[in-house]
Structure 1
Amino acid sequence: MTGIPAHRCRRRPPYFHPVPLRPRSDGWTLERQCRFLAALYVTGSVSAAARGAGMSRASAYGLRERAGGEGFAFAWDHVLSGPGTGRSSRPKPNWRKLTIEELFRWVDDGLVQPVIYRGKMVGIRQKPDISALLRLARRGAGLPRKTGAGS
């Protein structure tokens, strides 16, 4: 693969839901998750990407398998799938199994995407998760509903 540009063999990281973690100075932060995906795009190596994020390869796989890590795992697979492989379909969340607390977290956290310029991560893009917001509105956000004509 020497001499082949990264965009020919890998895809840029998509918007994804970051893995929810408690804040730690030596753990997987939002920035480290994005750095890992950016380095994975540039190098194509999980070990090199984990080193670039300042973490170990084993902890990267642990983060991928963690509860709530489906968005991170999808972004990881998307980067390595390559264009034209047909494996780019985003897994659809089972909206009925998502709790209202999870939907609120998705709305609060939103979606993130690492910005890569000339082979380096230069920033993090964020946007709101409108789908989760609409699901909350459709569910009534857990508010009691009025029933009957006299209520």
Structure 2
Amino acid sequence: MKTYPRTTRPRARHPRVPAFVPVPQRVRHDGWTPERQARFLAALAVTRSVSAAARTVGMARETAYRLRTKRGAESFARAWDQVLGRASANRKVSPEERALRAMGTLIQPRVFRGKCTGIAQKADNSALLGHLADLDRSCAAADGPARRSQSFAGNPAVHAAPLPRRSHRPISAPGARILAPEREGFR
């Protein structure tokens, strides 16, 4: 029996850039738009160089570092760290960041064959549900002691509509005759 050596092709490496909330900026055509931020992270994932990634999107390296330190750039900075492999596995999300992720739209660049092929917008439903739970907890704390859901109505007999009285006569269709057995005392 003849055997042939296995020829395996190397797997293509398509880096995955995490979804992030773009840094809020003034609207300028030559500034760090959300699309430019996403393309920068995609180029950073491919080149692993901040200078080369900034050059790819037509920006300076210094402005990229300045953008990273701005207020509201926590999600962008975390995505930057994850792309470079420096992110910690266990991280806690602050309520402010959860609210930002819940209310804002996440964007995620798609990388194929070393190029950014598109940018996907997606909703962060788990952050939205967590934010709603935080709001419920804060409202419950402001209202006072917790109440059970069954006790909100008070006395259920007060709110219930009266039931119709049942007659003891059999229900029949109009015009139908009810045949009674022939027994003594039956009416």
Do these two structures clear the TM 0.5 threshold for a shared fold by scoring above it?
yes
3-state secondary structure, aligned to 1:19: coil
Matched to 1:20, the amino acid is P
Change (3 A) 1:91 1:68: farther
Among 131, 134, 140, the residue aligned to 1:136: 131
Shift of 1:11: 4.7
Change (3 A) 1:62 1:90: farther
Q: What's 2:75 paired with? A: 71
Q: Does the alignment pair 1:107 with 2:115?
A: no
Shift of 1:5: 8.7
Q: What's 2:89 paired with? A: 89
Among 122, 126, 132, the residue aligned to 1:127: 122
Shift of 1:47: 0.4
Matches of 1:61 and 1:109, distance apart in 2? 23
Shift of 1:92: 2.2
Shift of 1:30: 0.8
TM-score by length of 2: 0.61
Matches of 1:33 and 1:91, distance apart in 2? 23
Change (3 A) 1:123 1:20: same
Matched to 1:54, the amino acid is G
Aligned residues: CA RMSD: 3.2
Change (3 A) 1:132 1:15: same
Matches of 1:71 and 1:41, distance apart in 2? 16
Q: Which has the larger radius of gyration?
A: 2
Higher-helix-fraction structure: 1
Q: Do the aligned partners of 2:103 and 2:128 also contact (CA within 8 Å) in 1?
A: no
Matched to 1:112, the amino acid is I
Matches of 2:129 and 2:57, distance apart in 1? 34
Query: Bigger relative contact order, structure 1 or 2, given CA contacts below 8 A and separation 6+?
Result: 1
Unaligned runs of 5+ in 2: 1-9, 154-187
Matches of 1:6 and 1:57, distance apart in 2? 28
Could you list the per-position Cα deviations for residues 55-100 of structure 1 after superposition, in whole angstroms to 9, with x for gaps in the alignment? 1100000111111111111111111118xxxx452632222xx28x
Shift of 1:39: 0.8
